[in-house]
Amino acid sequence: MGSIPRQRKTTYRPSHLPAGLPDPQSAAWTSLPGNPLAPAAARRFVRAALAEWTGLGLPAAEGFTDRVADDAVILVNELVTNAVVHAGTNVELVCHLEEATESDPAALVVEVSDHHPARVVRNEPGGSPATGGQEFGRGLHLVAGLSACWGVTYRTGLKTVWARIAIEGALPAVAPPDSAEQALQRGLRAAEILAPVPRRTAREYDSDWINRGALSFLAEASDLLTGQFDEEMIAALAAQLLVPRLADWCAVWLEEEGAAPRLSRVWHQRESSIEELRRHVEKEPPPALPQSARGGPVPVPWPGAPGPQGADGPDRADDADADACEGGPGDGAAVAYRLIAGGRGLGTLMLGRAALERMPDEVTGLIEDFVRRVALAIAAARQYTRQATISNVLQRALLPGQMADIPGVEKALVYEPRGQGVAGGDFYDVFPGAKGSWSFSLGDVQGNGPEAAVVTGLVRPWLRLLAREGRAVGEVLGRLNGLLLDDAVEAAEATARMAVASAGAPGGPPAGPLALRDAAPQPRFLSLLYGELVPLAPEDGGGVRCTLACAGHPLPLVLRPDGSVRPAAASQVLLGVVDDVTYESETFVLQAGDTLLCVTDGVTERRSGRRMFDDADGLAAALGRCVGLTAQGVAERIMSEVHAFSPTPPDDDVALLVLQAI
């Protein structure tokens, strides 16, 4: 494994370190090669740094606990692993202490830098076919969970991920003189931090992890698995939570209906053994487990057995923090568990512990509880993936593949759905109309999600059909209003018939007013800005004639080259509310340099506390600051101000369309 890198704690400072780095006595720096040995070297380096600071009696080091040391080692392991896998360059590791202040506790700050800033920080695991089956770490989810705060800093030729671990209970920066007993305790604590993890016997194994650690282990596992929507990430978390706490190695196979199981994750307590273990388990996948197991442990052969050397190779290592197995790797116990959720098999998890004839029942029971949580997390991730895929397909079908180019007009569009991969209620379109005209629309269906998507799926093709029939702008809105009302009535009648039929079925709800009330028409309200553009010949004065109407939508604004801003239409009633409504349109000419801005209420109603973005004509003021910008420049400037208006992300779909005469 190589020797421990020496700490470089002189006046030398790497060029990328901040000028405010603490005294070299409380900082340590090393450079690691970009290969699989780097994470183990980083772990040893961190433990050595913590031990030296403890021995020096630094005030912040008085707050070191087993939890701080373990969190620091795990965090550094993940960051270095990510840097090696994603960048492949040498890795710079910096650790330094921040002393406690009146407002903030002491902290251990870790910085991991690589020299490939063109590759963005990855926040998802690998191992999928799309990533070529590479092994990634647990990702930044774990870093976020262990640190008080973290971030990424980009410099020329360098990318740094930093994290801050709070050290509670540290002494203030000015400490009283040490007694001999205090110095001795510091020395003992330093030796404890540096000492290898002792090999546990089966009895110690049970006492440590079952009697005291079972509940905290399961709680930690649940926290890490909850909210993970990538099954590859879940497999990686499962393997690394089990190793080395409860096993020396772990392998996870995932399977889907009609497909052969695939090896998703292999993990060993020593990185140098992972590839050899992978080769063995790929050749010898776990056998089909009996149905009677029902997710319980089933003994399986040790990978690579028989033979004095199995998947683990020679069973000696100088890795100070590795819980090395004693005896040959074939001298151990291996078990497999079916991953089952909702009665369906999702895969198999196999693990092993050397130097045991069999896994203790208390340990296998704990792992069974853990495996059950893993299976539920994988099932939830697959359900989310399916729904997200359906929503993405629906979203692509609801929005135009491309917008038509309009002669004499430069256009720009920004569309940001509230939920990633969730079809929303905002929509837009620019398409050729009738008789040399071009039509554009920007709409917002009441509500969001699938219900809003249904209405969007109806409105966009209806608009195109009505526009290409050559109908006037106001008439198009009137006809669309009638179609929405008719569709709502038809949908309500169909729902009522289904409710009555269900009420009469055995075990169904009782027939009567309740069933009919539940089948009441669902309103399909729609705010819409719809317009028509006709380029004008030079002999007609040039520019573009614009005719538009606004049905309950935020009013469009026109920006003139002199900086003046005015509304371009009057507000009228929402579509789908009242029958027999006549919609009026307005016509004006966009001369060269004039800009028409159309937005949905995700822009105007963007909130910051009690204020909204369009309070006191905020949108008009923002547009007035866009004089001289191109259509794309206007769109970017407005969206920049919208995002800067509040520190929280937008809570509604956002759509913005800019049309500028040129």
CATH number, domain at 252? 3.30.450.40
Domain boundaries, position 385: 202-310+327-389
- Cis, bond preceding 290 (omega within 30 deg of 0): no
Cα-to-chain-centroid distance, residue 153: 19
Instruction: Kindly state whether residue 425 falls inside one of the protein's structural domains.
Output: yes
**Which residues have CB under 8 Å from 260's CB, separation 6+?**
none
Instruction: Kindly state whether residue 316 falls inside one of the protein's structural domains.
Output: no
- Structure-token pair, residue 656: 């913005």
Q: What is the pLDDT of residue 513?
A: 47
Domains of the chain: total = 3
Q: Both 219 and 368 in a single domain?
A: yes
Instruction: Kindly state whether residue 14 falls inside one of the protein's structural domains.
Output: no
Look at residues 148, 171, 194 and tell me which one is the last residue of a structural domain. Answer: 194
Q: What is the pLDDT of residue 498?
A: 65
Select from 38, 266, 236, 275 the least CA-distant residue to 122.
Answer: 236
Cα dihedral value 196, 202, 208, 213, nearest 10: 110
Q: Both 345 and 432 in a single domain?
A: no
Q: What is the pLDDT of residue 616?
A: 93
Select from 636, 654, 645, 577 the least CA-distant residue to 616.
Answer: 645
Instruction: Kindly state whether residue 315 falls inside one of the protein's structural domains.
Output: no
CB 411 within 8 A of CB 632: no
Look at residues 369, 389, 409 and tell me which one is the last residue of a structural domain. Answer: 389
Q: Both 141 and 175 in a single domain?
A: yes
d(CA 289, CA 339): 11
Tell me the DSSP string of 41-79. Answer: HHHHHHHHHHHHHHHHT-GGGGG--HHHHHHHHHHHHHH
Helices 180-194 and 38-56, packing angle to 10 deg: 170
Q: What is the pLDDT of residue 334?
A: 93
Q: What is the pLDDT of residue 36?
A: 78
Instruction: Kindly state whether residue 502 falls inside one of the protein's structural domains.
Output: no
Which positions of the chain have pLDDT values less than 50?
1-22, 118-138, 174-176, 196-203, 307-330, 512-521
Q: Both 137 and 268 in a single domain?
A: no
Instruction: Kindly state whether residue 219 falls inside one of the protein's structural domains.
Output: yes
pTM here is 0.52
Cα angle: 400, vertex 403, 405; to 5 degrees? 165
Q: Both 269 and 371 in a single domain?
A: yes
Q: What is the pLDDT of residue 445?
A: 86
- Structure-token pair, residue 289: 């487990």
Instruction: Kindly state whether residue 500 falls inside one of the protein's structural domains.
Output: no
Q: Both 456 and 356 in a single domain?
A: no
Strand 571-572 and strand 565-567: the pairing is unpaired
Q: Both 154 and 273 in a single domain?
A: no
Collapsing DSSP states into helix, strand and coil, what is residue 628?
coil
Q: Both 279 and 215 in a single domain?
A: yes
Q: Both 416 and 438 in a single domain?
A: yes
CATH number, domain at 546? 3.60.40.10
Q: What is the pLDDT of residue 457?
A: 80
Cα dihedral value 38, 40, 42, 48, nearest 10: -150
**Which residues have CB under 8 Å from 394's CB, separation 6+?**
423, 450, 453, 457
Q: Both 597 and 543 in a single domain?
A: yes
d(CA 267, CA 252): 9
Q: What is the pLDDT of residue 652?
A: 85
CATH number, domain at 142? 3.30.565.10
User: For residue range 69-107, what is the model confidence (pLDDT) as tens digits?
Assistant: 888 888 898 888 888 877 778 899 999 888 888 777 889
d(CA 576, CA 619): 27
Q: Both 407 and 383 in a single domain?
A: no
Q: What is the Cα gyration radius of the chain?
A: 32
Look at residues 342, 359, 389 and tell me which one is the last residue of a structural domain. Answer: 389
Q: Where are the alpha helices (DSSP H) in 115-201?
A: 140-146, 180-194
Instruction: Kindly state whether residue 618 falls inside one of the protein's structural domains.
Output: yes
- Structure-token pair, residue 76: 């550094």
Q: Both 189 and 41 in a single domain?
A: yes
